[in-house]
């Protein structure tokens, strides 16, 4: 019964990977007690328990705790008194007190909690730590939000998303950093396509959910409505900048405008600036854009920057500069300008380039 409109987001509630659940329970000496039924009550009668109770250690860790998140120095200091021996306690105390040492030993290696405890104790269990410390100190697992990459006019009853399955090697660390939700989705995809071992990158997931609630098919999600929308008038021009998976919402926008064009509506200029490393490797939806062009004709234009294919790196910012006059003309026609993607770098640089374009084309100061 999910409903959405083009430009909305979908929230996906992930399940922790079985490998990480096992690591967490085993290092705490709870591996053999994982299915023991436990009740959790707050000392304060008004305190809200962040998961159903009674429950089991396995269920809490698998479905409710953010066990793969980075660790804080404060939490390391909290755990130090419960270390297996004095040497480990001294090391934990140093990490908690020394910001630079913490960064070198923990943050730079992207250890999650159980990985750090394993590394420090070399297999000795941390069975002195009260489980309540983790209930109080670890965040409740949170949904991950993804831009919906389909149009509600075209796919009324089906939501598409666009995501990279994260698997990153960390320099100086023996483990690989894996995206919690994207690998979970990959496991579901493999299961539904009948692959014999839905086990991405050595991970395994309880995709049937608690008490078989998800049946290996269903996923807990909800839609979050967004203000990132197409103009209500399809004849208005739009300019979209979305390199990599930042193209996700714009696929939905263009799907919608292509349908409107097929239905005989007047569709305004629709420009998409897209960038990726190599055309043959990560040109997302390469087979779709030509079909949209056929539907929309000259109204649709896609400009691509493949940053690793030439002697010089080319990014979407460079393409914007090349089309400065047309961009300014469209903006003066009240075009909508959208950016989606890397907010820390790309989006800031696009904002700078846009200010330069307006200033140069109109002969005014950037400020």
164 & 131 share domain: no
Residues of the chain with pLDDT under 70: 45, 196-202, 216, 309, 311, 367
State which H helix or E strand residue 11 sits in.
strand 9-12
44 & 148 share domain: no
Question: What residues contact residue 315 under an 8 Å CB cut-off, 6+ apart?
Answer: 243, 275, 305, 307, 346, 349
65 & 88 share domain: yes
197 & 261 share domain: no
d(CA 157, CA 4): 9
25 & 119 share domain: yes
Domain span including residue 41:
17-137
Pairing outcome for strands 144-147 and 9-12: antiparallel
In a domain, 245, yes or no: yes
CA 52 to chain centre: 26
In a domain, 285, yes or no: yes
Domain boundary among 202, 224, 246: 224
d(CA 192, CA 217): 7
In a domain, 233, yes or no: no
Give the CATH number of the domain where residue 38 resides: 1.20.990.10
Domain boundary among 198, 224, 250: 224
Question: Which among 295, 291, 297, 298 is positioned nearest to 260, based on CA atoms?
Answer: 295
265 & 317 share domain: yes
Domain count, the chain: 3
The pLDDT tens digits of the residues spanning 69-98 come to 999 999 999 999 999 999 999 999 999 999
In a domain, 321, yes or no: yes
208 & 245 share domain: no
245 & 348 share domain: yes
pLDDT at 340: 94
In a domain, 232, yes or no: no
The pLDDT tens digits of the residues spanning 131-187 come to 999 999 999 999 999 999 999 999 999 999 999 888 888 777 777 888 999 999 988
**pTM for this model (two decimals):** 0.89
Partners of 55 in beta bridges: 38
In a domain, 340, yes or no: yes
Give the CATH number of the domain where residue 177 resides: 2.40.30.10
End-to-end distance of the chain based on CA atoms, in angstroms?
Answer: 48
pLDDT at 256: 98
In a domain, 6, yes or no: no
243 & 357 share domain: yes
In a domain, 81, yes or no: yes
244 & 358 share domain: yes
269 & 349 share domain: yes
Domain boundary among 78, 103, 137: 137
pLDDT at 70: 92
The DSSP code sequence of 142-170 is -PEEEEB-S-TTT-TT---B-----EEEP
CA 63 to chain centre: 18
268 & 332 share domain: yes
Say if residues 235 and 229 touch (Cβ distance below 8 Å). no
pLDDT at 245: 92
């Amino acid at each position: 019964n999910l409903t959405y409109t083009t430009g909305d987001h979908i929230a996906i509630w992930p399940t922790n990977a079985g490998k990480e659940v096992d690591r967490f329970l085993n290092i705490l000496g709870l591996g053999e007690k994982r299915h023991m039924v436990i009740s959790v009550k707050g000392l304060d009668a008004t305190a809200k328990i962040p998961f159903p109770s009674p429950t089991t250690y396995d269920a809490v860790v698998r479905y409710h705790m953010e066990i793969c998140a980075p660790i804080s120095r404060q939490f390391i200091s909290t755990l130090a008194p419960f270390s297996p021996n004095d040497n480990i306690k001294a090391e934990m105390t140093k990490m908690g007190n020394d910001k630079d040492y913490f960064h070198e030993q923990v943050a730079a290696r992207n250890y999650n909690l159980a990985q750090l405890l394993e590394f420090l104790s070399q297999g000795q269990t941390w069975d002195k730590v009260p489980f309540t410390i983790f209930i109080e100190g670890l965040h409740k697992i949170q949904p991950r939000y993804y831009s919906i990459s389909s149009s509600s006019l075209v796919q009324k009853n089906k939501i598409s998303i666009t995501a990279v399955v994260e698997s990153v090697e960390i320099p100086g660390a023996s483990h690989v950093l894996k995206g919690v939700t994207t690998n979970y989705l990959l496991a579901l995809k493999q299961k539904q396509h009948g692959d014999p071992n839905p086990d991405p990158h050595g991970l395994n997931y309880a995709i049937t959910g608690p008490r078989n609630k998800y049946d290996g098919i269903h996923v807990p999600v909800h839609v979050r409505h967004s203000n990132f929308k197409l103009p209500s008038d399809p004849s208005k021009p739009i300019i979209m900048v979305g390199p990599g998976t930042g193209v996700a919402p714009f696929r939905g926008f263009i799907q919608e405008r292509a349908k409107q064009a097929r239905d005989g509506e007047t569709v305004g200029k629709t420009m998409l600036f897209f960038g990726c490393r190599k055309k043959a490797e990560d040109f997302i939806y390469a087979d779709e854009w030509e079909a949209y062009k056929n539907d929309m004709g000259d109204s649709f234009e896609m400009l691509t920057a493949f940053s690793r294919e030439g002697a010089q790196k080319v990014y979407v910012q460079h393409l914007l500069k090349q089309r400065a006059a047309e961009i300014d003309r469209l903006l003066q026609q009240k075009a909508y300008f959208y950016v989606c993607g890397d907010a820390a770098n790309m989006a800031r640089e696009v904002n700078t380039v846009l200010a330069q374009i307006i200033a140069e084309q109109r002969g005014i100061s950037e400020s």
